Amino acid sequence: MMTIVLWICGIMMSAGAIGAIYRVAKGPSILQRVLATDVLLVIIASALAIDMAINKHTNHMPFVLIACVAGFIGSVTVSRFVYQRDGIK
């Protein structure tokens, strides 16, 4: 049963990663590219979390935290840049 769940998770995360990579490459705006990069970072963090749960260890926890913090800081930085550049109010 667990093998089936792992296959389903792997297929869904792979499909999400392919969609995010496509959006990073073809995204018409910088905001869509940043959002796709955030999605990709979340998929990577989720894959590492699944690996930790399956193998019952916490070796990848620093990488998960770094991916989450990098995604957050990157999103905030780009959104502030676009806000100042476009003068959105």
Give the model confidence (pLDDT) of 36-87 as tens digits: 999 999 999 999 999 999 999 999 999 999 999 999 998 899 888 888 887 7
Q: How far apart are CA 19 and CA 34, in angstroms?
A: 13
The pLDDT assigned to 27 comes to 84
Report domain extents, the chain.
Answer: 2-86
Q: Which residues contact 30 (CB under 8 A, 6 or more apart)?
A: 78, 82
The CB-based long-range contact list for 72-75 (8 Å cut-off, 24+ gap) reads 74/34, 74/37, 74/38, 75/34, 75/35, 75/38
- Picking from 46, 44, 29, 34, the residue whose alpha carbon sits closest to that of residue 75 is 34
The pLDDT assigned to 89 comes to 60
